[in-house]
Structure 1
Amino acid sequence: MTQRLSLLLAASLFCASASAFAAPQAKNIIFFLGDGMGPTTITAARIYQHGEDGLLNFERLERTARIKTYSNDFQTTDSAPSMGAYMTGVKINQNGISMKDARAIDPARDANGNRTVDLCGENNGSITPTILELAKARGKAVGAVTTTELTHATPASTFSHVCHRDAAYTIARQLVPGGAGYNAALGDGVDVLMGGGRHHFTPWNKASNPKGRADGRDLLAELAKQGYDVATTRAGMMSARPGRKFVGIYSADDHLDYSLARRPEQPSLSEMALTAIELLSQDPDGFFLMVEGGKIDHALHDTNASNALADTVAFDEAIRAAIERMRSIDPGLENTLVVVTADHDHTMVLSGYPKRGSKVLDIVHDYASGEPKKDADGKTFTALLFGNGKVRPDSRADVDSATAQDPRYRQEAGVRTVYESHGGGDVKLYAVGAGSAPFKGTIENTQVFHLMKAAAGL
């Protein structure tokens, strides 16, 4: 009887697996990654924007799953191996960019003091093809859009292969068709690229570009010679020409701004996503596009919940705008798969029994009296707190509502660390459109790659 049950279970699992890899349906894939957007961040952003009974736009998508995020060598993952798992279907070591079994080696500093010298060496791990590369090989247009530096871990994991995520200057040169160090698996090049970190693409200059490239290469000029439209501002992006490849890098030597403080010369994530769709959708073979809300993670590392929630809302708005645009191109999303997920959690928690209807960034108030609630030491406290981070005073002081809700306020942490760490918990995934049915249950992050690959027949 036991053997018969085992055989029946095996048969059912085989059928489930077979149905998961049904005939290709998705001509287009848009993969949205909210960096660090764990379940508590989603809940808090929902309350922040819509109240307890509301929903973010992506929470309305019909398919949901729970994603395990551990890397090949750590329980709590770094962004690089987690995004690499989504992009390659392989568990990757901490800090590695789309390379299996690579040993991460910190880049060495060049004569200018910048970490530009790639020390990965030969025979250190093996390259694993990314879904962006597979899509390009099938003739599809491909793109990567982010609010971080373009060479940062998440976007880099779509188009680059290197043993350490901080080898940003090496990552940048892998994007230039025909140039030294180019990643030939990208064919004639990534069609749309947007983000920050222009210094990784431009020559070092002591006065004007002290974080620039020590090799003297101007990769943006090289990309222009390869037929790319190159933009450094929102206005330049808005004038991008269909039929041309495009690269937009909107910050000289850093990531893009938080949405609450975005300078007018920088486009919003929604504008970048819509521009990318306009350019990529010209390809009759379809496209693959990755869109990252990367500043969510940065705010959480800084235990700054206000910017984390505002950037989650901005990320949500980009998803809404992109889906609406795709529905105008592909009614019913019969040929388009949209996946929304996160690479890892953080240590932020919502606790202390705040009253329903309270502002989620506020201090906790007593349900009956409405007076500020006190901890065991007689001090007020916020509803959102962190497990670890910079802000853990030796002696706690009261915090008032005005201070707690200031966008610059950094919530307190239980353990003092140099910066707040990632969390090791599962994250959520939402999907809609062609080939979205198999996204369900609790699955490995590597399985997301295989489901997307099957949906598009890559």
Structure 2
Amino acid sequence: MNFPRLITVVSLSTLLLGSLFSADETGSAIFIHPDGMGLGHWNAARLLEVGPDGMLNWDTLEQLAAYRVHQKNWLSTTSHAGATAHAYGKKVHHNSYGMDQDKPLTALSGKPLSIMQEAMASGIRVGVVNSGHIGEPGTGVFLASTDNRYDFRPLARKIMESGADLIFCAGEIYLIPVGTIGKHGREGTREDGRNLLEEAEGRGYTVIFTREELFALDPKTEKVIGIFAAENTYNDKKENVLKKAGLETYDPEAPTFAEMTTVALKILGSDPQRQFFLVAEEEGTDNFSNNTNAKGMLDAAIRADKAIGAVVDFMNTQADRKTLLIVGADSDAGSPSIWAPRGKGEDYQLPKKTNSGAELDGPEGTGGTPFFSKPDQFGNAYPFGISWANANDYQGSAITRAHGFNSQLLGTNIDNSGIYRIFYEVLFGVTPEIAASKLQE
């Protein structure tokens, strides 16, 4: 009975807040999106990386809110629909990539543009970083739209031609033609004969492929594309599959998510007088969870936290710049829980399942050797396993954090479409509703 009234009050409050902004109160914005990463992921990462009494970079952020994942026709979401809500400020059909299923989408601002496209049109520098391939929706939706998220080659073309100042990701096979062997040793899959990397160089982009080239970039570089793996920088398979193939969870030759993010900030933030908008996604947090690979999930989670640390360091060194950081996922992939036996030592072996029948993982897969936490304040390290509720993206315990300029706009309870609204106010100085009303004047 009271729900519609609550929505009205929240919307009015947002409008009033937005009306207080002026043009000189805009800032830059950074969205770190560890895909599918809920509270269980963060708790497990803390145990493994710094111990139960330690603090992750994520723990130091100023604001925290519960996050609502649902879409217009489902109680959960998908990666592409979640990204669409972030990029356009509207709930959509669960099979949507920058559209409402197969229908063009008008953003909450009243424009048929994602927030990143609108930022570009306003002269704000923009960039995307992804540990996965170029078509991954967590970043791709901000630059392109399609009615088929799995048609990666047309998507890759749209993103490469989007005009973004910076694109760091993987997916070389979607950028070069059949018959051409790429820098990362695999044949291209484009059947249109186009080499999108050569075309980008023709448009003035610097194109790079290695960690060494990444670190050698001049911060004053205007336009840059970095493609750091043939498909993804991670190997998102089950533990036994990776062991049999002799593969690590991440390609050791590819730059890490934190390294890509650090260089992206140096480039986009090289002019302290100019706004920028960066969307950076660690995709491995979701993909390893969807494969119930606990070690891979934890590797990815810790990589995401190191990127958060890099962003906070950037914000601290550029304290005069008004910059907002938001960290959040669109769902809780696998809903992992920490399974911690009492009074067990170093020789303890995990069972394959919990008492409820949930799959129980250690670093080598189901059962066997447990993970061990870093020591607590008393000097004790403890064994633990990761139990999986499922292998999909559901409600779970998704949460969002904010830090820096106007981080108080996050509140304590946010809808997935609310991420757009906060970024819009920071980048443009008004609420999207006010922007939409001005279009009608």
CA distance in 2, matches of 1:442, 1:299: 27
Distance 2:211 2:396 in 1: 37
Q: What corresponds to 1:321 in structure 2?
A: 310
In the alignment, the residues of structure 1 paired with residue 119 and residue 57 of structure 2 have an alpha-carbon distance, to the nearest angstrom, of 27
CA distance in 2, matches of 1:13, 1:253: 42
SS in 2 for 1:401: coil
TM-score (norm: length of structure 1) = 0.76
Write out aligned runs for 1:427-442 (5 A): 427-442=398-413
Q: 1:19-418, aligned counterparts within 5 Å?
A: 19=17, 22-23=20-21, 25-100=25-100, 102-103=101-102, 124-126=103-105, 128-177=112-161, 186=162, 189-205=163-179, 209-241=186-218, 242-256=220-234, 261-283=249-271, 284-331=273-320, 335-350=322-337, 352=339, 354=340, 364=341, 366-367=342-343, 380-381=351-352, 399-401=367-369
Q: Structure 1 stretch 26-35 or stretch 232-241: which is displaced more?
A: 232-241
Divergent runs of 4+, >6 A: 6-13, 368-371, 382-386
Question: Could you say which residue in structure 2 is the equivalent of 1:455?
Answer: 426
Structure 1 unmatched runs, 5+ = 1-5, 104-123, 178-185, 355-363, 374-378, 392-396
Pair 1:228–1:422, CA change in 2 (3 A): same
1:18 aligns with 2:5: no
For 2:84, the aligned partner's letter is G
Cα distance per residue 1:236-293 (max 9 Å; x no partner): 2122232330000111133445896544431111111111111111343210001111
1:337–1:386 Cα change, 3 Å: farther
SS at match of 1:76: coil
What amino acid is aligned across from residue 52 of structure 2 in structure 1? Answer: E
Tell me, what secondary structure is at the counterpart of 1:173?
A: helix
Partner Cα distance (2:87, 2:6) in 1? 33
Q: Return the alpha-carbon distance in structure 1 between the equivalents of residues 63 and 268 of structure 2.
A: 25
Query: What is residue 380 of structure 2 aligned with on the other side?
Result: none
Rounded to whole Å, the distance in 2 between the matches of 1:385 and 1:430 is 32
Percent of aligned pairs with the same residue?
23
Deviation at 1:95, TM superposition (A): 3.2
Which amino acid in 1 is paired with 2:105?
S
User: 5+ residue gaps in structure 2?
Assistant: 107-111, 237-246, 373-384, 430-441
- Please state how far the C-alpha of 1:71 moved relative to its aligned partner: 2.1
CA change 1:384–1:66 in 2 (3 A) is farther
Q: Which shifted more, 75-84 or 7-16?
A: 7-16
Following the alignment from structure 1 to structure 2, what is the Cα–Cα distance between the partners of residues 52 and 383? Answer: 22
User: Equivalents in 2 of 1:87, 1:148: separation in Å?
Assistant: 19
Q: What SS does structure 1 have at the residue aligned with 2:325?
A: strand
- Aligned-residue offset at 1:368: 8.4
Q: CA deviation at 1:328?
A: 1.1
Could you tell me the TM-score, scaled by structure 2's length?
Answer: 0.79
Query: How many pairs does the alignment contain?
Result: 390
Aligned-residue RMSD, C-alpha: 3.4
Q: 1:48 and 1:214 mapped to 2: Cα distance?
A: 45
